[in-house]
């Protein structure tokens, strides 16, 4: 039985239930509280807000969220654990680095960086004992710079060492998924153990097909971010790919959050009024059904594919020292 590492401990992949594969709980600027505490409410208030929001996820019928908040996005493992315990929602935490590698990482090689990721996945984050369960890495508009390449290679090596899956951030317009697949393939990663994220930001079906034909899962994971692409157009791409037989490689999610210091006190962008955890349940799933996507394929995207990603990654990794 393949185990998935939650912030509350390991569970069998089979028991993940309905999964939101790319979300966030709390996103924070690293160092902001230490330097400008007057900008922020108390940590306890933030935790309560997250508990309330994640409780809504449970009520909407989801059992698990995969939190893609790396440490440079303000990862707080104790917060994730408390939110998970108080809501009963399974939470998987991420190791890895987002789009701009912080200073320490800029001159390190992939093996040195991989050791940090492996530590998060096997012994836990800092001294919390709370372990990450997924490896995140990213490419964005800046393209493949040397520092980002070392992070991608480090993610691949941490995957080999632990059997944890890789899940990425991309800039779909720049087709960053192709560079990611190339580097992972060079590192000997089975691309079926990789989720190329943010693919729902584009209607370039040719690009998406090329990623899919190499075996990766792709994330149609930003429903509600309509300033990039409207939900109707996002749903139409999902329906088209399902009709072509790719339902077994798509993941649905929202990249939403419970709390983000970037948006504190600012008015909600009207183009993001549906950007929240309930968008899939309330609007997108009915939209997909109307476009002819059968319930069985919707379940496949929300239940079977996340489980398969963890199972395939586990099979391909050495799983050394993970205890799972
Ligand atoms: Zn994200």
Task: List pLDDT tens digits, range 185-239.
Answer: 999 999 999 999 999 999 999 999 999 999 999 999 999 999 999 999 999 999 9
Average pLDDT, integer, range 114-130:
98
According to the model, what pLDDT value does residue 321 have? 42
Average pLDDT, integer, range 123-135:
98
According to the model, what pLDDT value does residue 324 have? 43
Give domain status of residue 323, yes or no: no
pLDDT grade for 315, boundaries at 50, 70 and 90: confident
> pLDDT for 271-296, tens place per residue?
999 999 999 999 999 999 999 999 99
pLDDT at 140 over 70: yes
> pLDDT for 232-261, tens place per residue?
999 999 999 999 999 999 999 999 999 999
Residue 308 alpha carbon to ligand 1 centre in Å: 21
C-alpha distances out from residue 322 to 2, 6, 87, 205, 308, Å: 12, 13, 26, 37, 19
> pLDDT for 36-79, tens place per residue?
999 999 999 999 999 999 999 999 999 999 999 999 999 999 99
**Percentage of residues in the chain having pLDDT higher than 90:** 95
Give domain status of residue 117, yes or no: yes
Nearest to 200 by CA among 136, 278, 288, 100: 288
Residue 236 alpha carbon to ligand 1 centre in Å: 22
SS3 letters across 58-88: HHCCCCEEEECCCHHHCCCHHHHHHHHHHHC
Residue 23 alpha carbon to ligand 1 centre in Å: 6
In the chain, how many domains are there? 1
Q: What backbone phi and psi angles, to 5 degrees, belong to 209?
A: -60, -40
pLDDT grade for 322, boundaries at 50, 70 and 90: very low
C-alpha distances out from residue 118 to 68, 95, 234, Å: 16, 9, 35
Residue 21: which residues within 8 A CB-CB, separation 6 or more? Answer: 66, 167, 195, 219, 221, 251, 252, 253, 305, 306, 309
Residue 312 alpha carbon to ligand 1 centre in Å: 22
pLDDT at 319 over 60: no
Which range marks the domain in which residue 286 is found?
3-316
According to the model, what pLDDT value does residue 1 have? 83
Residue 196 alpha carbon to ligand 1 centre in Å: 12
Parallel/antiparallel/unpaired status of strands 259-260 and 26-27:
parallel
Residue 253 alpha carbon to ligand 1 centre in Å: 10
Residue 129 alpha carbon to ligand 1 centre in Å: 24
Residue 222 alpha carbon to ligand 1 centre in Å: 8
According to the model, what pLDDT value does residue 318 have? 57
Give domain status of residue 89, yes or no: yes
Pick 320 or 114 by higher pLDDT: 114
**CATH for 234:** 3.20.20.140
Collect residues with CB below 5 Å from ion ligand 1.
Answer: 68, 255
Instruction: Tell me how long the chain is.
Output: 324
* Mean pLDDT taken over the chain: 96
Residue 301 alpha carbon to ligand 1 centre in Å: 18
**By the 8 A CB rule, do 152 and 123 touch?**
no
Give domain status of residue 321, yes or no: no
Residue 35 alpha carbon to ligand 1 centre in Å: 25
Average pLDDT, integer, range 135-143:
95
Nearest to 23 by CA among 107, 103, 84: 84
According to the model, what pLDDT value does residue 323 have? 40
Residue 289 alpha carbon to ligand 1 centre in Å: 26
Question: How would you list the strands of the sheet with 19-23, edge to edge?
Answer: 19-23, 64-67, 90-92
According to the model, what pLDDT value does residue 15 have? 97
Average pLDDT, integer, range 13-18:
97
Give domain status of residue 221, yes or no: yes
pLDDT at 153 over 70: yes
Residue 256 alpha carbon to ligand 1 centre in Å: 7
Residue 237 alpha carbon to ligand 1 centre in Å: 20
Judged on CB neighbours under 10 Å (0-12, 13-18, 19+), 72 is middle
pLDDT grade for 316, boundaries at 50, 70 and 90: confident
**Percentage of residues in the chain having pLDDT higher than 70:** 98
Residue 264 alpha carbon to ligand 1 centre in Å: 18
Average pLDDT, integer, range 94-120:
96
pLDDT at 94 over 70: yes
């Amino acid at each position: 039985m393949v185990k998935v590492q939650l912030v509350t401990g390991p569970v069998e992949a089979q028991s993940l239930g309905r999964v939101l594969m790319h979300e966030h709980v709390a996103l924070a600027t690293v160092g902001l509280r230490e330097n400008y505490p007057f900008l922020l409410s108390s940590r306890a208030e933030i935790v309560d807000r997250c508990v309330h929001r994640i409780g809504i996820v449970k009520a909407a019928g989801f059992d698990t969220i995969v939190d893609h908040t790396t440490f440079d996005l303000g990862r707080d493992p104790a917060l994730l654990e408390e939110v998970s315990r108080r809501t009963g929602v399974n939470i998987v935490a991420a190791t890895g680095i987002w789009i701009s590698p912080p200073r320490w990482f800029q001159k390190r090689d992939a093996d040195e960086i991989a050791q940090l990721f492996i530590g998060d996945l096997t012994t836990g984050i800092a001294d919390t004992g709370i372990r990450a369960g997924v490896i995140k890495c990213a490419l964005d508009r800046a393209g493949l710079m040397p520092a980002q390449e070392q992070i991608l290679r480090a993610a691949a090596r941490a995957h080999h060492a632990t059997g944890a899956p890789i899940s990425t951030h991309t800039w779909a317009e720049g087709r960053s998924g192709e560079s990611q697949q190339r580097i992972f393939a060079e590192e000997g990663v089975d691309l079926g153990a990789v989720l190329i994220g943010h693919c729902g930001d584009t209607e370039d079906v040719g690009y998406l097909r090329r990623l899919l034909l190499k075996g990766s899962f792709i994330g149609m994971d930003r429903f509600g971010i309509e300033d990039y692409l409207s939900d109707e157009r996002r749903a139409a791409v999902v329906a088209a790919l399902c009709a072509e037989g790719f339902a077994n490689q798509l993941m649905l999610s929202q990249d939403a959050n419970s709390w983000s210091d970037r948006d504190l006190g600012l008015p909600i962008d009207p183009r993001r009024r549906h950007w929240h955890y309930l968008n899939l349940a309330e609007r997108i799933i009915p939209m997909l059904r109307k476009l002819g996507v059968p319930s069985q394929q919707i379940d496949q995207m929300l239940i079977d594919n996340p489980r398969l990603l963890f199972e395939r990654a586990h099979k391909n990794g050495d799983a050394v020292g993970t205890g799972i």
